[in-house]
Chains A and B, each alone.
Chain A
Amino acid sequence: MSDPAFLQIRDLTVGYGGNRVLDALSLEVCEGEFVALLGASGCGKTTLLRTIAGFADPSEGEVVLAGSDITRRPPDRRGMALVFQSYALWPHMTVAQTIGYGLKLRRVAKPEIARRVAEMQALLGLEGLQERKPAQLSGGQRQRVALGRALAIEPQVLLLDEPLSNLDARVRLTLRHEIRALQSRLGITAVHVTHDREEAMVMADRIVLIDRGRIAQAGTPDRVYNHPASAFVAAFMGAENVLELRGTVTGQDVHLAAGAANAPAAVPVHGRNLTSGRFEARFRSEAAVLLPADAAPVDGALDLVGVVRTVSYPGGLWRHLVVIGDRDIHVDAAVAHPPGTPVTVRVPSSALFLFDAAPTASPPPSSP
């Protein structure tokens, strides 16, 4: 990662009709880095990928690759290879013809093409399938062929558009690791579009979360998972339990006021930009601890009181639906607490994500 700006996207704006899909989005990708573009459907992540590949025209902004502006360069002259969600294999071509097509276009000599195709087949576990056509391959094999077609031309950037979402779960898990291992072995810069959080977490060096055409947060999987920059990121990264709290920020601590269902607590600010008043609190069901209703309070954790409504067993841990005031939250625990049990839900400060509540209809903030 010597060059800090191998692929640069600057203030990119893309729209279809009057609909603005990407809104002045900027992103830098280092050489050899694996970046996952993560977001819900329609957030603009595929449009961003297609714009990088040259299949969508930006109305503003530029795409710079290795120092040269490629914004208006046609897709066939960008040195990038795109892997499609639908595989987009050519039904009339064999595996060998498909993998070798990009080399044929580059006028590589036939023996050299044959050597590289064989190499790709070995790399991707497609040995012996060179004469097969797409209809005679399984889904996983098809996606491997599509990957081989893209990698055979040794692209500067590998673009992956949800390449695993049409595969069944087991094949998907294997291919995740294979793609990642191949990418690091070949040292290719990769941009991977996905709506699957876990896929992005295990594959990428860096996750770029996109929301309505803008970057919501970019960072290492660990950073995005444990330090979400906004309520949207926290929710997308699995912190689905949401509560509204009030509190005041003093120095390095946030003092959470006692509410109908929570005891007062003091938690560290963790460098977050919070203003006193109403907060949106989010946490993951597995990050909270279920305790008896009369558990003694401890420092640096938020205690919530509630009653178990239902309990189910999805495997591993018991999942409890706990009623806290007017909210329902999920809490996982190793032992089951029967419905009707009064409980204390303890959320450690490190797992409690606090954000300023949305300004809609907010009362004037109380002064500290």
Chain B
Amino acid sequence: MRPPMSQRLLALALVLPALLTILLFFVAPLGASVTGAFSLDGDFTLSNFGKSFELYSSDILFTLCIAGLSTGVIGALAVSIGGYLTLGENPLAVAVLRWLYRWPLFIPFIVVGQILRTFLARNGLMNNILIAGGLLTPLQTTSFLDWRGIVIAFVWKQTPFVALLVAGAMASVDRGTLEAARNLGASRLRILLEILLPQVYTTLAVGLILSFVTMMSVLSVPLMINAQSPTMLTADIAFRINAYGDYGVANALGLISLLMTAGAAAIYLRHAARERAR
């Protein structure tokens, strides 16, 4: 039975504020940005994309590689941390790790960039420690303020977030399933990879995709750590707008990042759907 007209109007009135907020502050700006990517002086054109690929194709590739590599390293570290928190048998080590690993969560990206800039520079703290420890001579030192610095910053900042999600999911796995494997003779590494990880795979994937999207949108880290070319798309977008007021190319680059993150989400959704169908 259909509800009476007055009730349907009431329902519409109830969702209207939320709907308007989304339309006004999210859909409209996104739409303007998308159409802006396809227009030059009011005409429809693909020239913004042509220029983007001509000038920035190495940066697009660089961005994809940096975000992809960081995501991989974050995943490996988050699984290791979550695995140790779940399977570790030294209560003190588990307690210390549980207390320590979340700290970077509360530090903003710009501060991470700042900290690592002084840490990773050629005459920075890391190299000074290595020299003091006799592991390097001053001549052998190199600066890590390039792509490696960005990856280190992203991993440092995002691992706790994914580890938090993964550790939570791991803690809610039936311990009997872990004990059953142990009982049959499985080592802890095998239990982590073959029993625990498959049961938290969805959570890990969600955490990694959210991290991937976050990293794609960080401007401060590439600006502070990697002030050279190639760099990440966020730096290029800021440069197009600040230096040239070129919103067309900036919008096109934005749309390209959006397609990259959407691609990551699509891969995950397809995989999840296949898992469910099995």
Contacts and interface: CB of A to CB of B under 8 A. Distances in A.
B129 to A, nearest CB: 38
Contact of A89 (B177, B179, B183, B186): B177
B176 A88 contact: yes
A55 B179 contact: yes
A111 to B, nearest CB: 20
A88 B185 contact: no
Contact of A102 (B174, B176, B184): B184
Interface in A125-169: 133, 146, 149, 153
A82 B185 contact: no
Which of A77, A105, A149 lies at the interface centre, i.e. has the most chain B CB atoms within 10 A of its CB?
A105
A75 B177 contact: no
A235 B34 CA distance: 79
A91 B201 CA distance: 12
Interface in A69-86: 74-77, 80-82, 84, 86
A90 interface: yes
A92 B196 CA distance: 10
B190 A75 contact: no
A149 B185 CA distance: 12
B186 A105 contact: yes
Contact of A81 (B176, B184, B187, B199): B184
A76 B201 CA distance: 25
B171 interface: no
Given A88-B176, A90-B177, A105-B190, A76 B182 contact: yes
Contact of A101 (B179, B184, B198): B184
A53 B176 CA distance: 13
Interface string A248-261: 00000000000000
Which of B179, B185, B199, B278 lies at the interface centre, i.e. has the most chain A CB atoms within 10 A of its CB?
B185
A108 to B, nearest CB: 12
Contact of B179 (A84, A91, A102, A153): A84
B187 to A, nearest CB: 7
B195 interface: yes
B179 A106 contact: no
Contact of B199 (A53, A74, A91, A146): A91
B181 interface: yes
A86 B181 CA distance: 14
B120 to A, nearest CB: 40
A256 B198 CA distance: 68
A177 to B, nearest CB: 24
B224 to A, nearest CB: 42
A146 B201 CA distance: 23
Interface in B180-225: 180-187, 190, 195, 198-199, 201
Given A88-B174, A88-B176, A88-B177, A82 B183 contact: yes
A86 B187 CA distance: 22
B184 A88 contact: no
Interface in B226-275: none
B182 A75 contact: yes
A215 to B, nearest CB: 25
Contacts of A74: 182
Given A105-B186, A106-B185, A153-B185, A82 B199 contact: no
Given A84-B176, A90-B195, A101 B183 contact: no
Interface string A87-127: 11111100000000110011000000000000000000000
Which of A76, A80, A84, A102 lies at the interface centre, i.e. has the most chain B CB atoms within 10 A of its CB?
A76
B186 A88 contact: no
Which of A53, A74, A88, A146 lies at the interface centre, i.e. has the most chain B CB atoms within 10 A of its CB?
A88
B184 A149 contact: yes
Contact of B184 (A76, A84, A86): A76
Contacts of A105: 184-186, 190
Contacts of A153: 184-185
B276 to A, nearest CB: 11
Contacts of A82: 179-180, 183
Which of A74, A89, A101 lies at the interface centre, i.e. has the most chain B CB atoms within 10 A of its CB?
A101
Given A86-B174, A92-B198, A105-B190, A77 B179 contact: no
Given A81-B184, A106-B185, 5 more contacts: A76-B185, A76-B187, A88-B176, A105-B184, A153-B185
14 contacts: A55-B182, A75-B183, A76-B183, A77-B185, A82-B180, A82-B183, A88-B177, A88-B180, A90-B177, A90-B195, A101-B184, A101-B186, A105-B185, A133-B278
